[in-house]
Amino acid sequence: MPDNALDYLVIGAGPAGLQLGHFLERTGRRYLILEAGPAPGTFFRTFPRHRQLISINKKHTGTADPELNLRMDWNSLLSDDPSLLFTRYSDRYFPSADDMVRYLADFAAATDLKIAYGTRAVHVTRAAASAADGRSDRDRTGASGEGPFLVTDEHGRVHEADRLVVATGVGMRANMPPIPGIETADPYSTASTDPADYLNQRVLIIGKGNSAFETADNLVETAAVVHVAGPRSVRMAWRTHFVGHLRAVNNNFLDTYQLKSQNAVLDGEVRRIEREPGGGYRVTVAFVRANEVTKDIPYDRVIVCTGFRFDASAFADERCRPELTIGDRFPALTPAFESVNVPGLFFAGTLTQSRDFKRGTSGFIHGFRYGVRALHNILETRYHGAAWPGRDLPADPGALASAVIERVNRTSALWQQFGVLADAIVLDGRGGARYLEELPADLDEPPLGPSAGGHFRITLEYGPDHDKTDPFDVTVGRIAQSDAERADEGHYLHPVVRYHRPGAPPAVHHITENLENEWTSEEVHVEPLRAFLARHAVPAGV
């Protein structure tokens, strides 16, 4: 094996790359992180453009429990060093992106990560299978028997690795909708953020997400008219529980529309953008709530705020070009965060949001930090013979119920990655069980293969159709928090336990929602769970 061959090559030293690097460093794997920029967190040096993060930084929680505190800390990476918590870097509830840049640089230095800065990956290919002969540990790269990855950087150096992990985020490649003339508009990434540059102008902002409304809020004091346009409804995060939908901190602009202050939200599709000979634009909008009536509207400026997409340009070799999904914006992934068509090619960080797109937290640090930890455990179990973190328990309903209650009352991973990560209890069919923590909820490979007694999966989830009801409408009834019989009707976050056995649909048990998220009542929470576990955990004849 060549001296410079790696177990893992990681592309990108943003939060996900640093998080994975920390785990690889701790387990002594041969790895290298390639970073195009001069320091960690290149994305946060530019974005968000108005420099305020929408990830919360709640320092005062009333508890000293570090695990519970991570439920309210959306910016810290995972480590055993309490000095590497983001809460030490800012007192602001919505901190500055500049604080994130500083934090990521300190994290990389403190954890002594192996990072090559100023080193952009420009071409990814793969050696022929025969080139890996004699390297027995490489035979497990994938079922295809492919050889190691070969990644050429911008300086012409070739990096060889058994497995490749892409943690680039969505980078700087804008997601530009196919609107004729859109190339004449200002993209979010380069549009001026100085409100004085829009003095007394008519401004159209295309998009209805946080970047669009962040931009609109910035202009309400100087622009004459601001229109925010898009064919879909504005979705509020406080209703959908998806933190990427419009956040309250960015929705002041809505007041200026509904209270008749010249601004407006246009529920319509932009059909065409044309530059006027004398300057400015003429934009054709088809209104979706007016039978697609079209109107030509004049503007001085047009800004496109329609998000980003994965830049797959380095994957020119079709042998290792990942299949894309969601309008070709993100890689298509297995439950193990692996490309569905390229064995040994994994993804970490915000690119994994293709698995819970616009419903979970994989697109954000407070979600994908746990996804990265799960990915590392998958790599360790699959390629290095490690056991998944867990503990042995008797398959006694009381012991199992106690273990579940202890976890759901404290875990930050299941709290942040609701419905995406799960704990599991694997039954051996002989009166024993093993409690495993934080697996992808739909993972079916070891350690969750077929087992003699089946297994339980424990998640935290919102109720079905939770986003269909206005949570602030007091005329909409809610179940009583003491009503264990109707726990499955709860809309708020609560534990769900499923029993899986081959050849049968899962049996499901809901633990009723609780205002303080404390599931400790013997009568309401513990005893119904114990009874459910008893029906499935005790082997026949015991």
3-state secondary structure of 112: coil
pLDDT score of 514: 94
DSSP letter assigned to residue 150: E
Q: What is the pLDDT of residue 141?
A: 45
The residues, any chain, with a CB within 8 Å of residue 317's CB and separated by 6 or more, are 123, 124, 125, 126
Q: Name the token pair of 488.
A: 């499955």
Joined tokens for residue 273: 């953008």
Most confident segment among 18-27, 421-430, 499-508: 18-27
Q: Which long-range contacts (CB under 8 A, 24 or more apart) does 276-284 make?
A: 280/202, 281/184, 281/185, 281/204, 283/204
- Residue 225 token pair: 């008219």
Residues whose CB is less than 8 angstroms from the CB of residue 522 and which lie 6 or more positions away in sequence, other chains included: none
pLDDT of residue 365: 97
Query: Which tens digits make up the pLDDT trace of 168-179?
Result: 988 667 889 999
The span from the CA of 412 to the CA of 71, in Å, is 5
pLDDT interval class at 139 (50, 70, 90) = very low
- Measure the CA–CA gap between 304 and 273, rounded to whole angstroms: 11
Tens digits of residue pLDDT in 178-223: 999 999 999 999 999 999 999 999 999 999 999 999 999 999 999 9
Task: Say if strands 158-166 and 345-347 run parallel, antiparallel, or are unpaired.
Answer: parallel
| Cβ–Cβ under 8 Å, residues 495 and 460 | yes
CA distance 219 to 201: 10
pLDDT at 477 (0 to 100): 81
User: pLDDT tens across 279-309, in order?
Assistant: 999 999 999 876 768 999 999 999 999 988 9
| 531 SS3 class | helix
Please check the confidence at residue 68 and state whether its pLDDT lies above 90: yes
Residue pLDDT, tens place only, 309-322: 999 999 999 999 99
Mean local confidence (pLDDT), 388-408:
96
Written as six digits, the tokens of 162 are: 């058994």
pLDDT digits (tens, 9 = 90+) for 219-269: 999 999 999 999 999 999 989 989 999 999 998 999 999 998 899 999 999
3-state secondary structure of 253: helix
Task: For tokens 């360790």, name the residue.
Answer: 380
pLDDT of residue 437: 97
Band of pLDDT at residue 510, cut at 50, 70 and 90: very high
Angle ∠(208,209,212) on CA atoms, nearest 5 = 75
What share of residues in the chain are helix, strand, coil (percent, to 5)?
25, 25, 50
pLDDT at position 137? 45
Residue 524 is inside which H or E element, if any?
none
Q: How far is CA 425 from CA 358, 369, 370, 399, in A?
A: 29, 23, 19, 11
The H or E element that residue 293 is part of is strand 293-299
Mapped to the 3 state alphabet, what secondary structure does 229-260 carry? EECCCCCEHHHHCCCCCECHHHCHHHHHHHCC
Q: Residue 539's pLDDT is what?
A: 53
Rounded-to-integer distance, Cα 416 and Cα 204, Å: 35
Is the pLDDT confidence value at 136 over 50?
Answer: no
Residue 346: both structure tokens together: 């994994």
pLDDT at 24: 98
Report the chain's mean pLDDT, rounded to a whole number: 92
Are the C-beta atoms of residues 99 and 81 closer than 8 Å to each other? no
Q: Spell out the residues 6+ positions from residue 136 whose beta carbon is closer than 8 angstroms to its own.
A: none
Percent of the chain at pLDDT > 90 equals: 80
Do residues 55 and 85 lie in contact, with contact meaning Cβ atoms separated by under 8 Å? no
Yes or no: say if 39 and 117 are a contact pair by the CB < 8 Å rule: yes
Tokens of 422: 């799960």
Comparing CA positions, the residue from 306, 297, 275 lying closest to residue 225 is: 297
Q: Residue ranges of the alpha helices (H) in 384-520?
A: 397-408, 413-416
pLDDT value of residue 452: 65
For residue 528, whether the previous peptide bond is cis, meaning omega lies within 30 degrees of 0, is no
- Using alpha carbons, select from 232, 219, 226 the residue that is nearest to residue 257: 226
Which tokens hold the place of 340?
A: 């569905």
Q: Average pLDDT for residues 35-44, to the nearest whole number?
A: 95
48 DSSP assignment: S
225-230 and 455-461 beta bridge pairing: unpaired
How confident is the model at residue 170, as a pLDDT?
81
| 447-480 pLDDT per residue, tens | 776 566 789 999 999 988 888 888 888 888 888 8
